[in-house]
Chain A
Amino acid sequence: MTHSRGGTGHHQVAAVAGNLTKTYGSGDTEVAALRGVSVAFGAGEFTAIMGPSGSGKSTLMHCLAGLDVATSGSVRIGEVELTGLSDKAMTTLRRDRIGFVFQAFNLVPTLTAAENITLPLDIAGRDVDQAWFDTVVGRLGLTDRLSHRPAELSGGQQQRVACARALVGRPDIIFGDEPTGNLDSRSSGEVLDILRAATDEFGQTVVIVTHDPRAAAYADRVVFLADGQIVRELHRPSADDVFEVMRNLDGAVVGGPGTVGGTDPSVVV
């Protein structure tokens, strides 16, 4: 861990999930996506959530980010408990305290890059901190692309605009849902560099879901999910470490959690 906002390191917690469960359907068709997940994300930390398809990693992120409501358990963003929040309060929380980077970029096609970047602030009616905007845009190399519409930008550029959109409001936490899933390896590297830098240079808390070991290797910490539960955790791993764990996970799913030999299943909380 290098810099963190306020220098408090990851002693401070940006988001916490407590005994989170999520089931879809009912009766015979009931599927449990999350089976009691408890995890905390330290402020100023870059965390990657990994797991095989169907492990519940996306569901976990959706619940953490207030995009979906868990069946039971609690989620806190900063000091705010999400359980029982009204749609309006939840929306405002997403707007003011959470940034998003989606796999498909999800920029508004009718708006320019600059308009897309300031969209959450504009919706909130907040003033744009011009100096910060310039800093972010400069750092992301978008200065001469600001007047372009999404259709005129490459995938990598679009995802950088999406990153800028997430960063410019200085949210408590940025969630990335497979942020490199639609990008070639060079653009992927750029975007991950940006997220890494956001943590290192701006003290931004970042949580991404990914299935790419190389992407996970940019993170401070990698949390592994399988079958709706957290089964493993690595700190500052290399891509090979991650790949190794994933390979075991893929093979071990049949046997269920706990069969994976873990170095340090130090799940906070």
Chain B
Amino acid sequence: MSRSVMRRVSLRNLAAHKLRLVLTVFSIMLGTSFVAGSMVFTASISNAFNSLFDNVAPGVSAEVSPSADSAGEGVEDSVVAELRSRKGELGIDRLVTDYSAMVTVAGADGKAISTGGAPSTGSAFIPADEALAPDATTVLPGGRAPKGKGEIAINASAAEKNGLKVGSETKVIVGQGSSKPMTVTVVALLDQPGATSGFVNVQFEAAVARQLMSDGASVGLIDMRAVDGVSPEQLRDRVAAIVDPERYEVRTGDQVRDDAKSTFTDFLNIFQAVLLAFAAIGLVVGTFIIYNTFSMIVAQRNKELALLRAVGASKQQVSRSVLFEAFIVGVVGGAVGLVIGIGLAALLKMLANSGTGLPEGPLTVTPAAVLAALFVGIVVTMISAWVPASRASRVAPVEAMRASTAEDGSNLRRRTLVGAGFGVLALGLIIGGATHVGVGPAVAVGIGAGFAILAAVLGGPALAQPFVGGLGRVLGAPFGKIGSLARTNAVRNPRRTSATAFALTLGLLLVSIIGILGASFKGTADEAVDTGIGAEFIISDTNQQALPTSIVDAVAGTDGVGSMVAFGVVQARYDGSFMTGQAAVGDGLGDLLRLEMLDGASAEVPADGLLVTEAFASKKNWHRGDKLTFTTIGGKDVEVTVAGVFKDTPLVQPWIMGAEAYRDLVPRSLRMTTFVLVSPAPGVTSDELRERLDTATADFLTVQIQDPEEFKGTIAGVIDQMLAVLYAMLGLALAIAILGIVNTLALSVVERKREIGTLRAIGMLRAQVRRSIYLESVLIAVFGAVLGVCIGSVLGWALTRTLAKWGLGDPVMPWSLIGGTVLAAFVVGILAALWPAVRAARTKPLEAIADL
């Protein structure tokens, strides 16, 4: 038999079974489209970021900025003066100073503009004739330079998105320093290249910017343009020789741009890793679907392959013919997957651009994405096909031709034993890990998770039989014989059932782990708030950012405030390196925050002292009464006494410093408030106080006043937001699971045509046929879901316990989530069965007699 004949058999085969072909291509497409989609999406985003950063620092030869160590304090005026005076000597053609601060701006609707994660910055307006690159930023016609405190220029893209025009009146709050909410008028729209999507830039007159965004004795940064004949590198080196290298950093314009890119490359790498994790899940699950599909197809073709063997085709020829088919299908599936992946990326980009502050840019299809999609499609398909094909070719031709159906329940013993081995190993690692705390145990649980998944894959078929059987008895009971038919069909081929259910198993395993972690975080936070917060109200920023410092004055000046403490952030050197902690400014800390003090120390923090957590005190070997020396950025030493040690709480870490020490350590321009705790004065009710606080803070766009219950809700909201990825995973798993089950059921229906025909002939109604398929599907889906939830719960529980070191409390089971997912599996089962059930019900009774 020549090679071309075998090839013709393969091709004819593909053409003759269109449904099969479509389903197989479909399953490959699922896996590859996620890979292609995530690669194209990240390439597009990274491209957009690159072009964005190419527009950073236009015309700049060299830039002086505060070094990373100096924690954001500005460049002292003396540096500016020195550079100005030595302009000619250094080769500086033009020098500009700029300022920078986080700002909150209201849109036309009066609400704070949400940038979707992109920065919202304030800076100085630099007129074109003073700018280093006069063409880079242009004022759109109709605008003019802002003058005085009441006028701003804003980038056109932000203005457009938020309904601001020249002449619009709006509010601006500068995030740091002591600025109060200001009412301003937009006098100019700025066309900034690369400033797309969420990015907001508000510009003030230079003198106003200096007043709002610096301590009055420094500038934000210095940009310089070199004279002709002096290279940026030369200028950089000359300037670097003059300024204090400890406090300042001097970079060329290219370095500034590269640094900006590289910070985002890190971000993008994480982003891509998350997306590729999704792709990996899609692919792993997709592989199972492809494998399952090919197993079924080869099983259905056993007779035909045996016939080829009987007329003289060798084992190799048969295998090769199946592989050739797989290759064709892989190429087609990979190509379709690529196209759909690009579509997915476009869709993601659309969603991302509307919901977040990611920059816009063209869709970038890299060769790597194309190759990855095709490679994955072809290789995974061929491997998936090779296993069943070689199994098929091992069957003696005569035997295969005689066997009527493709029952495949044999030979589970070895597989199950290996699976059980992995299971024991996994359990050992997980329990071993769960009884300890720290990184090592967490890693042990992680490795255990890998083994547990392997155990689930290998042991799945053996578990499917008793589980689906038992569940089928319960669920099928109300349906009588239809129920028992569905049950027996679902356990008929346990390999297939378990491979089909695997999509749900893996998806819900991940969902359970993350769900338990999330619930445990929430539980820990809830408990901390319940036991730790004595204040009636918590004032914080709606975007979990710093509050403007002026909020403190606004609250302090409100009638009816009894005790009040504002929490700030302290960054100072201690023992040679930077240390970050909290500061408490105000009276009544002991009442507002119920710290559990050790050794009977007072819960009030003295102005020149600090309170420290037990864990941190023991780590640093600090004791009550120790005098610690902190050093400011400017180099001034401040002595702080350890006034007490309190039990660890997630509310404040690692220490709280008194007001005086805070003022000494942190310059005014860098002070910021994270949250404020407030309780009413005697005789004032909570409701009264809340009303007054609402009025007093009305101008602050992003301030929220919450009682502890509401505050818990906010924390839960933040955790949920971080867990959004969980729901995306759940969605992905459910989508793939539906498609996988559709695939299996559709092929099963084809396989069982004769049997279904018989049932129809002896009187089974169409509705009954449909019902039996629904039930079968639900059984498969619930099996997968329950297996995933069980393994995931154990892993989540173990992982939470190992994380106790980082303040995570006892594991909390998210029962509603677990119940919800199992219910969702029900729905998935029914959804997946809709189409196959209709197909099955259309089977004609005469199929009972038809030759297969």
Which A residues lie at the B interface, using CB under 8 A? 58, 62, 66-68, 87-88, 91-92, 94-96, 100, 102-104, 106, 108-111, 115, 119-120, 122-125, 165, 177
B754:A119 contact, CB within 8 angstroms: no
B763:A123 contact, CB within 8 angstroms: yes
B760 interfacial contact with A, CB 8 Å: yes
- A102-B848, A102-B849, A122-B480 known; A110 vs B763 contact (CB < 8 Å): no
B residues in contact with A68, CB < 8 Å? 846
B residues in contact with A165, CB < 8 Å? 762
Sampled A-B contacts (5; CB under 8 Å) = A67-B846, A100-B761, A103-B849, A123-B482, A125-B480
A4 to chain B, nearest CB (A): 25
B489:A96 contact, CB within 8 angstroms: no
A94:B762 contact, CB within 8 angstroms: yes
- A106-B754, A110-B485 known; A95 vs B766 contact (CB < 8 Å): no
B481:A119 contact, CB within 8 angstroms: yes
Count contacts on B: residues with CB < 8 A to the other chain: 27
- A92-B765, A119-B762, A122-B481 known; A67 vs B845 contact (CB < 8 Å): yes
B569 to chain A, nearest CB (A): 68
B residues in contact with A123, CB < 8 Å? 481-482, 759, 762-765, 768
B47 interfacial contact with A, CB 8 Å: no
Within 8 A of A (CB), among B441-486: 480-482, 484-485
B763:A96 contact, CB within 8 angstroms: yes
Q: A95-B762, A119-B762, A124-B763 are known contacts; what are 15 more A-B pairs with Cβ within 8 Å?
A: A88-B765, A88-B766, A91-B760, A92-B765, A94-B762, A95-B764, A100-B761, A100-B762, A104-B849, A106-B754, A106-B848, A108-B758, A111-B485, A115-B484, A120-B763
In the bound complex, CA of A87 to CA of B767 (Å): 11
B704 interfacial contact with A, CB 8 Å: no
A110:B488 contact, CB within 8 angstroms: yes
B763:A94 contact, CB within 8 angstroms: yes
Of B482, B488, B761, which is within 8 A of A67 by CB? B761
A87:B763 contact, CB within 8 angstroms: no
A interface footprint on B755-786 (CB within 8 Å = 1, 0 otherwise)? 10011111111101000000000000000000
B405 interfacial contact with A, CB 8 Å: yes
B768:A109 contact, CB within 8 angstroms: no
B481:A108 contact, CB within 8 angstroms: no
In the bound complex, CA of A123 to CA of B769 (Å): 10
B492:A120 contact, CB within 8 angstroms: no
B311 to chain A, nearest CB (A): 25
B residues in contact with A96, CB < 8 Å? 763
A91:B489 contact, CB within 8 angstroms: no
Of B407, B485, B763, which is within 8 A of A108 by CB? B485
B residues in contact with A100, CB < 8 Å? 761-762, 848
A111:B488 contact, CB within 8 angstroms: yes
Closest to A62 in B: B846
Interface centre among A66, A102, A111 (most CB of B within 10 A): A102
B756 to chain A, nearest CB (A): 10
Of B482, B492, B765, which is within 8 A of A91 by CB? B765
A residues in contact with B849, CB < 8 Å? 58, 62, 67, 102-104, 177
In the bound complex, CA of A120 to CA of B405 (Å): 23
Interface centre among A58, A66, A94, A165 (most CB of B within 10 A): A94
B399 to chain A, nearest CB (A): 15
Closest to A91 in B: B765
In the bound complex, CA of A13 to CA of B765 (Å): 27
In the bound complex, CA of A66 to CA of B848 (Å): 13
In the bound complex, CA of A111 to CA of B849 (Å): 19
B843 to chain A, nearest CB (A): 12
A120:B762 contact, CB within 8 angstroms: yes
A91:B754 contact, CB within 8 angstroms: no
Within 8 A of A (CB), among B477-527: 480-482, 484-485, 488-489, 492
B residues in contact with A111, CB < 8 Å? 484-485, 488
In the bound complex, CA of A110 to CA of B491 (Å): 9
Of A94, A110, A115, which is within 8 A of B489 by CB? A110
B755:A108 contact, CB within 8 angstroms: yes
A residues in contact with B755, CB < 8 Å? 106, 108-109
A residues in contact with B760, CB < 8 Å? 91
A95 to chain B, nearest CB (A): 2
In the bound complex, CA of A187 to CA of B235 (Å): 105
Closest to A99 in B: B762
B residues in contact with A95, CB < 8 Å? 762-764
Closest 3 CB pairs between A and B? Answer: A95-B763, A122-B481, A110-B488
Closest to A87 in B: B766
Closest to B845 in A: A67
A91:B763 contact, CB within 8 angstroms: yes
Interface centre among B480, B488, B766, B844 (most CB of A within 10 A): B488
In the bound complex, CA of A110 to CA of B764 (Å): 16
A210 to chain B, nearest CB (A): 14
A residues in contact with B489, CB < 8 Å? 110
A102:B758 contact, CB within 8 angstroms: yes
B764 to chain A, nearest CB (A): 5
In the bound complex, CA of A123 to CA of B480 (Å): 8
A75 to chain B, nearest CB (A): 15
A residues in contact with B846, CB < 8 Å? 62, 67-68
A interface footprint on B663-689 (CB within 8 Å = 1, 0 otherwise)? 000000000000000000000000000
B residues in contact with A62, CB < 8 Å? 846, 849
B768:A94 contact, CB within 8 angstroms: no
A residues in contact with B492, CB < 8 Å? 110
A70 to chain B, nearest CB (A): 13
A residues in contact with B765, CB < 8 Å? 88, 91-92, 123
Interface centre among B488, B755, B761, B764 (most CB of A within 10 A): B761
A residues in contact with B754, CB < 8 Å? 104, 106
B residues in contact with A122, CB < 8 Å? 480-481
A166 to chain B, nearest CB (A): 8
In the bound complex, CA of A111 to CA of B489 (Å): 10
B408 to chain A, nearest CB (A): 13
A108:B759 contact, CB within 8 angstroms: yes
A interface footprint on B388-415 (CB within 8 Å = 1, 0 otherwise)? 0000000000000000010100000000
B758:A106 contact, CB within 8 angstroms: yes
In the bound complex, CA of A165 to CA of B480 (Å): 18
Closest to B766 in A: A87
Closest to B405 in A: A109
A183 to chain B, nearest CB (A): 16
B residues in contact with A88, CB < 8 Å? 765-766
In the bound complex, CA of A265 to CA of B765 (Å): 39
A91:B764 contact, CB within 8 angstroms: yes
B residues in contact with A91, CB < 8 Å? 760, 763-766
In the bound complex, CA of A68 to CA of B482 (Å): 24
A216 to chain B, nearest CB (A): 20
A residues in contact with B407, CB < 8 Å? 109
A94:B759 contact, CB within 8 angstroms: no
Closest to A107 in B: B758
Of A87, A92, A94, which is within 8 A of B761 by CB? A94
A residues in contact with B763, CB < 8 Å? 91-92, 94-96, 120, 123-124
B residues in contact with A58, CB < 8 Å? 849
B303 to chain A, nearest CB (A): 15
Closest to B481 in A: A122
In the bound complex, CA of A68 to CA of B847 (Å): 11
Closest to A94 in B: B763
A residues in contact with B482, CB < 8 Å? 123
A interface footprint on B198-216 (CB within 8 Å = 1, 0 otherwise)? 0000000000000000000
Interface centre among B760, B766, B844 (most CB of A within 10 A): B760
In the bound complex, CA of A108 to CA of B405 (Å): 12
In the bound complex, CA of A91 to CA of B761 (Å): 7
B residues in contact with A87, CB < 8 Å? 766
A171 to chain B, nearest CB (A): 10
In the bound complex, CA of A260 to CA of B388 (Å): 57
